[in-house]
Amino acid sequence: MHIRSWIAVLVGTLALPLAASAAEPRLRVDIVGENGGQVHLDLSASWLKSWLEFADIDCKADVDPATRAMATSLASQGEGGVYEFDQRDGDHVVARRARGELRLEVRGSDRDRSVVEFPWPLAECWLLGREPQEGVGRALTRDGFHVRIDSHDGEERVRLSLD
């Protein structure tokens, strides 16, 4: 699966990978359009923690070979691992595994830049098909986490975060 497709998957399934920290979790959405139009939302997401703990999340790795190689390398490197590769469309991807998260930074030749951050247990599930022993939902809600999507193409900016 293409990295930009991962952004779409994360946006489309934000109801699944959401969790809580000690404070009330918040879902924030900021969209700034090329003509100056703006949308800003700041919503409570506390009800999602209970739902997520018992959600049945199926871990299937339906990814392209480059993405699978990245995930496999980062899994074997462990914390602090870094992996870089170029996608077929010319985008350059830098993937880092740190603080229990996967951070993907994608730079296109046309000034596009996207950053996606999400918990490593979710990355293992989606990219490698590995499910944590206690299940994905409980692994994600155990310590709290954040999901961040930040995409900027020179004209429009989309920023989603869950803390």
Overall residue count recorded for the chain in this entry: 163
State the Cα–Cα distance between residues 155 and 157, nearest whole angstrom: 7
Instruction: Name the maximum alpha-carbon separation found in the chain.
Output: 48
Residue bearing the bigger pLDDT, 148 or 73: 73
Q: Are 148 and 158 in contact (CB under 8 A)?
A: no
Residue bearing the bigger pLDDT, 10 or 42: 42
10 confidence band (pLDDT: 50, 70, 90): very low
Average pLDDT, rounded, for the chain: 77
Residue bearing the bigger pLDDT, 31 or 145: 31
| Overall pTM > 0.85 | no
- Confidence at residue 89, expressed as pLDDT on a 0 to 100 scale: 85
Residue 37 backbone dihedrals phi, psi, to 5 degrees: -65, 145
Residue 113's Cβ-count burial label (10 Å; 0-12, 13-18, 19+) is: middle
pLDDT at 19 over 70: no
Number of domains in the chain: 1
78 confidence band (pLDDT: 50, 70, 90): very high
pLDDT above 70: percentage of residues in the chain: 73
- Per residue, the 3-state secondary structure of 100-148, as one string, reads CEEEEEEECCCCCEEEEEEEHHHHHHHHHCCCCCCCHHHHHHCCCCCEE
Domain that holds residue 97: 3-162
pLDDT at 40 over 90: no
